[in-house]
Structures are given as structure tokens and as C-alpha cells.
Chains A and B, each alone.
Chain A
Amino acid sequence: MNKMQWIRINFIIVCIGVSLIASFNYIIDRYGLNNMVHLEGINTNKISNTNITTRFQISTLSHGGYDTLLLGSSRIGVMDPKVVDRYLGGHSFSLGQPRSVTSIQYDLFLYALEFNTIKNVVYGIDFLSFNKNNMINTEYLDKEEKIKSRNREYNFDVYFSFDSFIKNLKFIKHNISGQDVSKIKEPAVYLPENGMRKHVVYIEALKNGTLDLDNEIHEHLRQYFGGKENNIYYNYTFSDKYLEYFKKIVRYCHDHDIRLWVYMPPMLGEHFDAIYAAGYFDEYEHYEKEIAKITDFIDFTGINTISMDKDNYWDSSHLREEFTPVVMARIFYDTSVKVPNDFGVLVTKENVDAHLDALRTQVRPYDIRPLLINNN
């Protein structure tokens, strides 16, 4: 073999090898990032892209085409954007970033504005988003620079990846052998067209009668209240800095004629009780008061007809998808939908004190110790 031949052959093999693997990854697309090729029994049943939440969100948003944002934590992620579309007539994207604080929500909000003409924001604001000690997820941190500099997200690195190749092979093996794909997926999955967190595993388990709801609720409460540093309410301290980010979003919407609806997503009654038992209720009241100073909002928290029934939830925090119409009907004042009277209270700076007094009376005794003990 001569020198030129060697170089040429080397180059050709590399080009063919890289192209083949990248094309394979693009076609198999286990996360549903492009959804271009559907091969029945091979790649149609996608796995959860929960582990690439931020990538998925910014990659989808950077293609544009949305006029409504559902902003907030994972609690807004489980709401169905199609229901919002019915009221606003546009194209909504669910920008629910799990356990996010308001600075993250602000960055994502500005990122979405860069590539879309946003006219409406439905903001589900959470107590957890104001915890000074809330840990920020590493996947978001990896993308933070890109989000802040408003750079478009491409997925080339997912396709041009040997790691993806191996995982796609495993994914195909699962599909072909008829094994349960849920074994390789997380409990939530984003729907590519609108970013909603759809709890497919829960849905399947519910259908099969294997959903252990008590356990899910308990595990979730541990993730919030357990004493570990990475728990959501760990050493809860209300952050004025995070409040400023919330203010910025509200101000931005007002200044740019973006219609804004703010609400506090519903949580299971036990979760609400546990906030009191954990000694965070003063902080909780402070949080609601501060929000009321900035904007009116609909408060779905507390003990009410919906929150008292655990079967309405997937765990302690996430309301089931089928309740989206009820929540949105209250937010958009749709009287044609039957909404329990005690579900969703309009809170303003005038009635916030009375509302909080009422909330305090709703608190029921709750034994928080098992959550703390099991976690340490």
C-alpha cells in the first residue's frame, strides 16, 4: 500500500464509520428528539428524556413556534398544555423545570423569548422555588452558559456519540425482545410537541393495578422533607434574591404586553400538613405575602376537595393530568367547567392575611419523624 492510499483508506473508513453511527443514532432516536423515523417494534416506544430535561426544553424552544409558556417547576410540567391552548388559542409549551428556583425560570423564560413570540405566560409558582438552599440540578448547570448567552441548542453531540450508539443498541434490544421498556425509563417523559411531563410509567402501573400510591407519596415526601442536603426543602430559608427574579418576570410581562396568569399549583393535603410539621409554615406565609405584594394569584394549596384525595395525585406534589381542565378553568374563569368551590382561591394583597389565616386553620396534625429517620 502506498502513502496516499493509506491516508485515503483511513479517511474513508473514518467518514463511513462516523456517518453510519450518527445516522443510526438519528434514526433510532431513543429520546424522541427528532421523531423523524418510526420503525414499529424498534423505536416507536421512546424512553424518558427526563434526564435531558434542559436540553430537550431549549432544543425545542430554539426552533420557535410557541406563543404561550407554562412556566414553573415540575408541578406545572404535569399540566396538559393542550388545555391551555383551548383558552388561548395558540401553541403552548410546558417549560416546567423540575425543582427549579426562580433564577432558572427567569433564564429559561428569556431563552424562550429569544426564539419565540410569547404572548401569554401561565406561571405556576412554588414554595420550593424560593428556598435559598435548594440544590440546582447539574444538567441545568451544564447548559447554563448556553441558556444565558441565548445560543441555539443543537443535538449533534447526541447523534455523533458512541455512548448514544451503545445505549441505542440496548434500547433496540429491549424493544425487539419484547422486554418491558419501562425498565430503562424514568417515571416521567416529555412529549416532544409541547414539553409536558407525562407520567407514562405511573399511567401503565395504574392501568395494570400495580401502582403503589402510598409508597410513591411517602418516597416523594422524603425527597422534600428528609434531612439530606439534596432534599428540596433542606434547611428551608426564603430567598429575597429569588423573589427578585420572580419580580423581574412579572415586570417583564407587564412591560412587554405579555399576558400573565400566576397560580400556586395544588399539592396533596399531606404535603401541605408536612410543611407545618417541619416548622416551615412561617416561611410559607411569608412567601405567600411577598408574592401577593407583587401580583394577584390563584392559590390551589391547602386542604380542599381535590387535595384531600390522594387518588387525584401521582405522588405528594404532582396532580394527575386529567385535572388540568379543572385547574385551568379556575385560572381562566371558565364557568362551564365544574370546579369544586374550595379549589383555587384568588389571593390579592388585600385578602392575603385573611387567606393565610384560613390556611392555618386547615392544617392537620402530621408526624414528620418517619420521613427524617428513614432518610438518614
Chain B
Amino acid sequence: MLFNSFEFIFVFLPITFFVYFYLNHKRLTEVAKGFLVFASLFFYSWWNIVYLPLILLSILFNYVIGRQLANHDKNERKYSKKALLSIGVFFNLSLLGYFKYSDFFIRNFNMVFDSNVPLLHLALPLAISFYTFQQIAYLVDSYRSETKEYDFLNYTVFVAFFPQLIAGPIVHHAEMMPQFANIRNKVKNYYNIALGLFIFSIGLFKKIVIADTFATWATNGFDKAEVLNLIEAWFTSLSYTLQLYFDFSGYTDMAIGIALLFNIKLPINFNSPYKATSIQDFWRRWHMTLSRFLKDYLYIPLGGNRKSEVRTYANLFITFLLGGIWHGAGWTFVFWGALHGLALVIHRFWKRMGFRMHALLGWFITFNFVNVSWVFFRAKEWDDAIKVLKGMIAIDQIYFPVALSGKLHFLEKYGIGFSHFWTSHISANFVSFIWLFTGLILVFFFKNSIEMAKNFKLSYRTALFSAIAYIVSILSLNKVSEFLYFNF
């Protein structure tokens, strides 16, 4: 079920909300929790029920291992705690590896050894990347004795809670469980409901109205056009850069808003990432819960910056390389991860050398680097990425609309042409440029949704603002599309 669908907004969410609080109101708190688990698994199974046994197996296995790890010292077990953790992590990674990377490895094996091992063509279980990471974090926290003892129902709520189940934010056991346990959270909180509705409306608008509009030009440029001139290529890459931002941050806003209806505060995942003035700053603002996971459970265990400087660079690079692979089983993702790893290494070296850069220049370089690297992230094939990048540097392929030829004809001596078809490969027009310009203004100069939520006041203005966002979004639900991060 998609957050941006009629069945979710008008049926699933209201029913779940009212039944959950009704049961709590009747002091049937355990039943209410059980109902929330049932609703979450129903939400998950809506796509395809065959995924359900796998997530249940994963939850059960991790719960058992997690409990053993948490109780290890208390019970003076004879087996090694580290070995148990290793088994747990291995299980999770094997599951992820089998479903997500089997065909990728087979394809590469066949290429290197010129063999013909048949592909498995496994369907990627929904959200496996997210719930695997979340549970690895839980196991490590249990190993570090940072988890308290909770029952299976609590643990299942922690993993399967529907607002964050499919595409994050990736949450910690420690930040969620006390919230579910808090008795005050079992009563309807009208301020949270108002705030939740406010944030949800922003997220819905971002996804339905903005991201899906940019998707058209990005898809035309990446998947349909055979060649792109300079303006088309830049329009394509910027469209995707904005599409991804509004799509993913829109999803996160919706998740945060829905969770608030249930008095659960999910962590912030975006903090105006395109305002970042360095690549390090960017990763502190983009998909913040993933960055936190990679730092806590990969970068620091690798040694972080506690070893030599060279090791620090290597750790940074490896962390982002693996982060790239986590996003998708393909060389374009690996390359994207490597690019970011390299950029972070350069950034660290730059800082260590004591060089400084004006914030504006830093922002310009960072944004353009991110924009260019998204090309690899988005392209289905290398050739598509090369096509877009080639267009972005094709200074001999600049065309303006014929309507401007009268006033700007002097540009012709600089190799700039005028054509009726100057953006025909991506089916963009004058209105598209207004969209692009507005999108850029929004991400560069406006407050993000979390900042808006912090200043949220119960006023006619905010009620009207939110209502208009809902009206336009609801009336655009007929072009329902999936979220980009569902694929990762």
C-alpha cells in the first residue's frame, strides 16, 4: 500500500487510527499493540503476501538472537557472545545478499569466467534493505547491552511499525521502544494529530505534485531520449536531482506525520541537503538515519578515525562504497558510492591541510557534484549515464528557442543555435522551466518541513495551507506512482 493512494488515505489509515485508540481507550493496550502489528503486516502484505513469511522469519530470528545477546552476561552462557552476534549479522546479510545481490554476482561471474550460470530472477522482497539494517543495529545494540528487555510483540512493533517499515527512516531500538511503552502515548494527543496532519500534507504534496512532475522529464531524458543537447541534459539531471529530493523527503515527511498521529516521533531524515556547503555537510543532511547507521555500524567498527590517517581515508571510502552497493545491485551504484567516498576523502584531506573555501563556492561545488553523481545513481545502464553526462558537457550542442533568435541572434557566432526542437527530446516547454526554477528556489531558499513543523502554530493560516496541500494532492492521486526508495 502506498502512502499516496486512495486506499491508504481514506481506508487503511483512518481505520487503523481509530481502532488503535479505541482499544487503548478501553484499556486493552496489549490488544491495541497487537492490532498495530496486524495492521502493519497487512500494510506490508498489500503489495504481495509472499513477502510476509520472510519478514516474519527475519523478525523472529533477530528477536531470539537479540534476547540471547542481551541476556548473555546475566545468564553466564558458555558460548561466545561475539560468535552469536556474528551468526546474527551473517544471517541478515545472507538474506539480503541472496535476494538482492544473487543475480548481480552471477552476472559478473559469467562475465569474468565467460560462463553461463543461469540467473535466479528472484523478486526483491519489499523493504528488505531497511528492515535488515534496522535489525543489524538492534543486534549490535544488544551485544553492547544497550537494549532493554522487551517482549516479542514490542519487538515486532519496532520492526514492522508501518509508517517507517517500507523506506525508513532507519530507527534505533532505543529511540522507539520507550515511546511504544509510554502509557501517555496511548491516548489521543490532538496537538500531535494536528502536527502530524500538517507534516503529512507537506510530504504528500512534495511527492504527488512536485516529485512526480519532475519524474516525467527525468524519465524522458534518461530512459527515452537517444541524444541530449546541453540544455536538455542539464534539465534532465536537475529534474532527477529534484525528483529524488522531493520524492524521498516527501515520503519521510509522510512517515513522520503518520507516526505522530500515533504519538510516535520518528527521527529527522532530511535537513535541506541541497543547502550543504561541503560533501560532509551533505551527508549530515541527506538520509540522516542511513548516515548514522553507516557511521555507527560500519565506519566506527572499521576503526573510524582512531587509526592512522590513511586508514581513516580507507574507512571513509569503504563505508561509502558499501553504502552505494546497499542502494542497489549494480555497478552504477557502486560507482556512485565510490564517487562519494572519494569526495569525502578529498574533503577530509582538504580540511587536514588547513585549506579553506568560501561557503558559496563550497555550496556550488557540492551541489554540482551531487547533481552529477545522481546521474550514475539514476541511470539504468552505463550508456544512459554517459549519454546524459555527454550532453551536460556538449558545449557545441546549445540550442535556444526560435522565439529568441531575433533578440539573441548575436549568439550564433559563439556556436549557439536556435531551434523549434530545443527541448523536444525530453518534452519540456516553457512551463517546465518555471517548474525547475521554482523547485530549485524551494530547496535552496525555503525552510524545510521539519523547520516548518518546529514553528508550527495552530492558526487559520496553517490550517488553510495544509488543507490546500491536501486538496491539490488528493485531486492528483489518480496518477499514483511508487516511491523511488522502494527499489533500494
Interface of A toward B, CB cutoff 8 Å:
1-7, 9-10, 13-14, 17-18, 21-22, 157-158, 160-163, 165
Contacts and interface: CB of A to CB of B under 8 A. Distances in A.
Given A3-B190, A3-B194, A21 B463 contact: no
Contact of B467 (A5, A17, A157, A160): A17
B353 interface: no
Contacts of A157: 477-478
Interface stretch (B117-125, B263-271, B468-476): B468-476
Contacts of A13: 463-464, 467-468, 471
Interface of B: 190-191, 193-194, 197, 458-460, 462-464, 466-468, 470-472, 474-479
A17 B468 contact: yes
6 contacts: A3-B191, A13-B471, A14-B470, A14-B474, A18-B475, A161-B475
Contacts of A14: 467, 470-471, 474
B190 A4 contact: yes
A10 B467 contact: yes
A157 B471 CA distance: 14
Contacts of B458: 1-3, 5-6
From B190, B475, B479, residue with most partner A Cβ within 10 Å: B475
Contact of B190 (A7, A9, A161, A163): A7
Contacts of A162: 471-472, 475-476
A10 B460 CA distance: 9
Contacts of B476: 161-163
Contacts, number: 68
A112 B428 CA distance: 39
Contacts of A21: 471, 475
Contacts of B479: 163
Contacts of A161: 475-476, 478
A230 B478 CA distance: 27
Contacts of A22: 475
Contact of B463 (A6, A18, A158, A163): A6
A265 to B, nearest CB: 34
Contacts of B470: 10, 14, 17
A172 to B, nearest CB: 18
B434 to A, nearest CB: 15
A10 B463 contact: yes
Given A161-B475, A163-B476, A10 B190 contact: no
A161 B193 CA distance: 27
Contacts of B471: 13-14, 17-18, 21, 162
Given A7-B194, A160-B477, A163-B476, A1 B459 contact: yes
B468 A1 contact: no
B475 A7 contact: no
Contacts of B191: 3
A160 B370 CA distance: 37
A2 B467 CA distance: 17
Nearest to B461: A1
A6 B465 CA distance: 12
Contact of A9 (B193, B463, B474, B478): B463
Given A6-B463, A7-B194, A10-B197, A18 B474 contact: yes
B460 A9 contact: yes
Contacts of B466: 10
A93 B130 CA distance: 51
Contacts of B462: 6
Nearest to B479: A163
A157 B477 CA distance: 8
